[in-house]
Amino acid sequence: MRKRRTLGGLAAAAVLTLVGVVGTAAPASAEYTHCLDVTGGLACWHTYGDWFSVHDALADGAHVEVRWQSWGRSGTCIASGNGDYQKCDYDLREGYQIKWYLEIWDGNTYVRGKYTTDCTADVSVCI
C-alpha cells in the first residue's frame, strides 16, 4: 500500500510540473507597432506579420507613401489620397533593421515627411 501512494504522489507531482511548464510558455512572437504621423498622414509598422498600415488623413489632393528598405529589399506602400487607407504585407527576414519613410506627395512634388528605423521583429538587437 505504501508504494502505491508514493507512486500516485509522484505521478501527480509530474503532471503539475508539466502543466506549470506548459502554462508558462511565452508566445512565439510579440506584436510591436511603431507609428509616425505628419500633417495629412499616418503610417504604422507592425512587426507581427511584417506589414504597414498607411492612412491619408486630408482631402487635399496629396497622397501618402511609405518607402522602406531592409537588407537588399525595398518597397513602397501608397494611400492614394482623400482619406484612403492601405495595408501592405511583406515577408521580411526576422531580426533585421528596416528603415522607413512616411512621406506626403502632391503629384510628383515632395511636401513633407519623417524617417525612422525599426526591427523586423520584436527583438532587443537588430542586425
pLDDT tens per residue across span 21-66? 344 443 445 678 999 999 999 999 999 899 999 999 999 999 999 9
Residue written as grid cell 537588399 = 72
What pLDDT does residue 15 have? Answer: 36
- Helix ranges (H only) for the chain are 2-23
Average pLDDT (88-108) is: 94
Residue 94 scores a pLDDT above 80 = yes
Which amino acid would we find at residue 23?
A: G
CATH number, span 33-119? 2.60.40.10
- Domain residue ranges in the chain: 33-119
Q: What gap in Å lies between CA 8 and CA 64, rounded to an integer? A: 66
Can you give the pLDDT at residue 17?
A: 37
Continuous H helices in 49-127: none
pTM for the full predicted model: 0.73
Mean residue pLDDT of the chain comes to 81
